[in-house]
């Protein structure tokens, strides 16, 4: 918004949605009136409201926890925007991360009638964002912006700013004269996975379990066709996790049933490996289970990808559903859905166990290598498994997102929801 104002050479008013409501009762509406009065006086101009969801949430009325102050503020905003004539020359821009919860009235013609979806930056966009943030940093001469952009798939602009800042801190801590490539790589790893804790005490038996868990993920994702290719696996404790695997998911707009099932299978590979290697399982698969449960739920209730439920979606894109008191399906269907979700996960788990049994020697070799080296890369996997059968040239594949798989600590007594994923 600031850039638009700059380009148009007009004044720019910026306010955050929460500022309207943090004041005393009754002040929100007054503040809105005041803002628009100023804007009209300074017209032509641009008004930017950040975090509009703070005031723009759906109005629900007191019955379901409505907030009078917020609703008054929103009503005032709607009224002010209606009051613009075609000759007012005030452009109002707002931003939110939660467009789904906004009140429908905000998006009607004459109000915010155009929406621009700002996606996460792609590689060349990330390179340009790096350009902005790197300007302030003393860089080693070999730093290549393309390289940095490639290492940060799925990062937002704020994440990239964070990487640059973190890299500078790491460089300073290591008494480097310049920020080096390795400082950037460490910063990226730290932001994705938390700080490495090399001297965290882990019992050897636990370390072995983590090695097999991660080796299980790696093995399955190597051997099933549609799983995301693996970049790196580590059993160095990091943040609140004991091990992690880095993947490069391919960019796709549609996902087939087979692809979802393969992904679920690979995610369950950690626990399956524990069963295959030790004959028992542990709490280390928490984040894996959380993820596959959500995926299976989505397959059945949102995407209509399950045979027994069929082509039905209970997803409500309008978000205006009034059925907040009950589910949109019968008790009987609810039971079927439960069975279906359980079946999907169970079948993929058994599939993972079977694959691991059949490749037990490779699983062992991989776990052993992990225990020796603590970090292994794609090349190490290739050494054990040979070239991956269905991998197109990895380097030519567009990169959109990095997923880090974490194994939460077994002994953690904290709220599992806080564990990073």
Element (H, E) at 287: helix 286-297
Question: How far is it, in rounded angstroms, from Cα 263 to Cα 253?
Answer: 16
Q: Is residue 250 within 8 Å of residue 397, measured between CB atoms? A: yes
Nearer to Zn ion, 237 or 270 (CB): 270
Site for Zn ion in 399-418 (CB under 5 A): 407
Residues binding Zn ion: what is the number (CB under 5 A)? 3
Beta carbon of residue 108, minimum distance to Zn ion (angstroms, whole number): 46
Q: Is residue 395 within 8 Å of residue 406, measured between CB atoms? A: no
Given the residues 214, 275, 340, 405, select the one marked as catalytic.
214
Site for Zn ion in 104-163 (CB under 5 A): none
Question: How far is it, in rounded angstroms, from Cα 278 to Cα 206?
Answer: 11
Beta carbon of residue 269, minimum distance to Zn ion (angstroms, whole number): 8
- The piece of 29-37, 60-68, 99-107, 280-288 that touches Zn ion (CB under 5 A) is 280-288
Does 166 sit near Zn ion (CB under 5 A)? no
Does 270 sit near Zn ion (CB under 5 A)? yes
- The piece of 40-48, 194-202, 284-292, 303-311 that touches Zn ion (CB under 5 A) is 284-292
Nearer to Zn ion, 14 or 283 (CB): 283
Identify the CA nearest to 283 among candidates 405, 418, 416, 421. 416
Tell me the residue nearest to Zn ion as measured from the CB: 270
Does 17 sit near Zn ion (CB under 5 A)? no
- The piece of 83-91, 249-257, 282-290, 350-358 that touches Zn ion (CB under 5 A) is 282-290
Question: How far is it, in rounded angstroms, from Cα 341 to Cα 157?
Answer: 36
Nearer to Zn ion, 90 or 227 (CB): 227
Nearer to Zn ion, 163 or 211 (CB): 211
Q: Annotated catalytic, 41?
A: no
For 213-233, give one letter per residue: b (16+ CB within 10 A) or e: bbbbbbbbbbbbebbbbbebb
Does 288 sit near Zn ion (CB under 5 A)? yes
Tokens 């990095």: give the residue.
Answer: 402
Would you say the C-alpha torsion 128, 130, 134, 136 has a positive or negative sign?
A: positive
Number of Cβ within 10 Å of residue 6's Cβ equals 11
Does 28 sit near Zn ion (CB under 5 A)? no
- The piece of 162-170, 189-197, 288-296, 344-352 that touches Zn ion (CB under 5 A) is 288-296
Beta carbon of residue 273, minimum distance to Zn ion (angstroms, whole number): 9
Strand order in the sheet with 45-50: 12-16, 45-50, 90-94
Q: Is residue 217 within 8 Å of residue 245, measured between CB atoms? A: yes
**Which residues of the shown chain bind Zn ion in the complex (CB under 5 A)?**
270, 288, 407
Q: Which residue numbers are catalytic?
A: 214
């Amino acid at each position: 918004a600031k850039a638009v104002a700059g380009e148009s050479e007009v004044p720019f008013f910026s306010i955050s949605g929460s500022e309207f409501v943090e004041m005393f009762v009754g002040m929100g509406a007054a503040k809105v009136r005041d803002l628009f009065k100023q804007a009209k006086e300074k017209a032509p101009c641009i008004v930017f409201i950040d975090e509009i969801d703070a005031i723009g949430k759906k109005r629900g009325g007191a019955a379901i926890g409505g907030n009078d102050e917020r609703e008054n503020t929103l009503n005032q905003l709607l009224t002010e925007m209606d009051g613009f004539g075609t000759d007012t020359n005030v452009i109002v821009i707002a931003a939110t991360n939660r467009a789904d919860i906004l009140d429908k009235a905000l998006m009607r013609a004459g109000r915010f009638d155009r929406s621009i979806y700002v996606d996460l930056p792609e590689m060349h966009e990330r390179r340009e964002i790096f350009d902005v943030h790197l300007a302030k940093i003393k860089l080693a001469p070999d730093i290549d912006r393309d390289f940095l952009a490639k290492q940060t798939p799925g990062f937002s602009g704020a994440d990239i700013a964070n990487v640059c800042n973190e890299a500078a801190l790491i460089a300073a801590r290591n008494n480097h004269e310049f920020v080096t490539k390795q400082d950037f790589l460490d910063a990226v790893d730290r932001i994705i996975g938390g700080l490495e804790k090399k001297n965290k005490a882990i019992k050897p038996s636990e370390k072995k379990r983590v090695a097999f868990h991660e080796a299980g993920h790696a093995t399955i994702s190597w051997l099933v066709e549609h799983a995301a290719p693996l970049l790196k696996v580590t059993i160095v404790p990091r943040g609140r996790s004991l091990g992690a695997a880095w993947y490069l998911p391919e960019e796709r707009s549609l996902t087939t049933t087979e692809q979802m099932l393969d992904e679920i299978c690979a995610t369950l590979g950690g626990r399956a490996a524990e069963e295959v290697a030790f004959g028992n399982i542990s709490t280390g698969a928490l984040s894996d289970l959380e993820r596959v449960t959500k995926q299976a739920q989505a397959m059945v209730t949102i995407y209509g990808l399950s045979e027994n439920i069929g082509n039905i979606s209970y997803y409500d894109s309008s978000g205006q559903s009034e059925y907040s008191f009950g589910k949109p399906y019968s008790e009987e269907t609810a039971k079927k859905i439960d069975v279906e979700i359980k079946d999907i996960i169970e079948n993929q788990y058994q599939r993972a166990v079977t694959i691991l049994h059949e490749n037990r020697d490779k699983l062992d070799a991989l776990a052993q290598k992990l225990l020796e080296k603590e970090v292994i890369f794609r090349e190490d996997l290739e050494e054990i498994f040979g070239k991956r059968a269905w991998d197109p040239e990895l380097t030519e594949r567009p990169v959109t997102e990095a997923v880090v798989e974490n194994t939460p600590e077994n002994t953690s007594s904290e709220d599992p929801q806080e564990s990073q994923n």
